[in-house]
Amino acid sequence: MDKGLDVDLRQMIIVIETAVSLVGMDDTNHGKRVGFIASQLGYELGFSEADIRFAFEFGLLHDCGVSTESMHNNLVNQFNWDGANIHCEIGYRLLKDFAPLAKFATPIRHHHTSWSELSELNISAYDARMTNLIFLADRIDVQAAAHYGKDILLVKDQIVADICARSGSYFNPVFIEAFKEVQRSEAFWIALEDRHITRYTWEMGHVPSSQRLTLPQIKHLSLILSYVVDQKSPFTAQHSVRVADVARFLAQSYGLSEVQCDKVEIAGLLHDLGKLHTPDKILDKPGPLDPSERAIMNQHSYETYEILRHIPGLEEIARWAAFHHEGINGKGYPFHPSARELSVEARIIAVADIFQALVQNRPYRAGIDLSTALSMLSDMAEEGKLDRDIVGLATKLDKQCYEIAKGSDPNGNQNFIRLFE
């Protein structure tokens, strides 16, 4: 009997932070640092252990609505960017209907609201308190990020002065007083360096949470992550969702068990997580990539693997998702596994990914017609890149696969994803 998935909620929160922080390109630990800063302030303020855990996890999740470099750059280069509410609203919509994380939705929605304006909102005192705590932690990190591992102990006094000047307007004065105390320790600032904050988060991630996620909840969370990925470029809108739909359909038609079909669907949803670390200009290029751009693009599957492989319970899914550009003939990327290392689930996702990409309308070209797409799949099977049996199954079920890949199937995830929009 196939086993379902059993994954710790905190581990999946770390998956979200790890994926979203990749958007920062040269700075991929912002969420971890915000969580750490918020938790240290919580200790100083006498928070309960439950509230400190809430603050830490909220810090990890606060930017879950960020997909693009341009949005990230505006958020870190401007203290009070006019467009900051966009990612706050996206994050709110993504989490509000996902029960295990719904408690973070309202605080995320307002985490760029100044302290002086929070009293005007119809939210609880607890949410107002936590949202301002994260706003403070976020802005501390933004001010300090360029100095970690370099001259942070030399510039920290200026950072403190800049933050404290906003007491009572942007930030709760009580929180500012706590920050003044916490920051006196050099250890506070040194702990924010990459090698230390990564270890801290790793250790926190291995403290079990009180909740295990069911397979349907993991699917829902995977849909959330697929939405974040697909919003990174207009060229790939809903690509992950439709790849997952095609892959599940092929897995069911192939005769895999219901649990395996669920896992294949989840792997399809998550297969492009690593693209969050691909520069926007490469994803948005309306034409062929040059060799240097292609070399960067070819790293995204490995990034997907690194995000997922550390999570107990997701080991198989990590491989299936990361192998979606591998060829049975060994000519894909980035691992070059042998044919026997490519499971049928990985082979299904590879066919679903290519087929969906071929028939999907992109801003720079119309989707390829069904006959041409099938011919191209057949050629790839003949070359040894794709599995002949899976391509044959897709050819036999061509019209159904085409409707699903185009988003016309009424049973697909594309209807579910509208809940996030």
The catalytic residue positions are: 275
CA distance 188 to 321: 38
Q: Could you tell me which of 189, 185, 139 has the C-alpha nearest to residue 164?
A: 139
Instruction: Judge whether 329 and 379 are in contact, CB under 8 Å.
Output: no
CA distance 373 to 252: 22
Between the alpha carbon of residue 13 and those of residues 46, 170, 222, 302, 419, the distances in Å are: 24, 27, 11, 20, 20
Question: Is the backbone peptide bond immediately before 334 cis, with ω within 30 degrees of 0?
Answer: yes
10 Å CB burial of residue 200 (0-12, 13-18, 19+) is: middle
Planar angle of CA 97, 101, 418, nearest 5 degrees: 30
DSSP string, 197-247: HHHHHHHHHTS--S-EEPHHHHHHHHHHHHHHHHTT-GGGTTHHHHHHHHH
* Residue 241 half-sphere exposure toward CB, CA atoms < 13 A: 27
CA distance 43 to 185: 14
Residue type, 319: R
CA distance 162 to 249: 55
Instruction: Judge whether 57 and 28 are in contact, CB under 8 Å.
Output: no
10 Å CB burial of residue 327 (0-12, 13-18, 19+) is: buried
DSSP string, 303-371: HHHHHHTTSTT-HHHHHHHHTTT--TTS-SSSS---GGGS-HHHHHHHHHHHHHHHHS-BTTBPPPPHH
The structure tokens 């996206």 sit at 90
Planar angle of CA 308, 108, 121, nearest 5 degrees: 170
Between the alpha carbon of residue 252 and those of residues 64, 149, 261, 390, the distances in Å are: 32, 51, 6, 12
Residue type, 43: Y
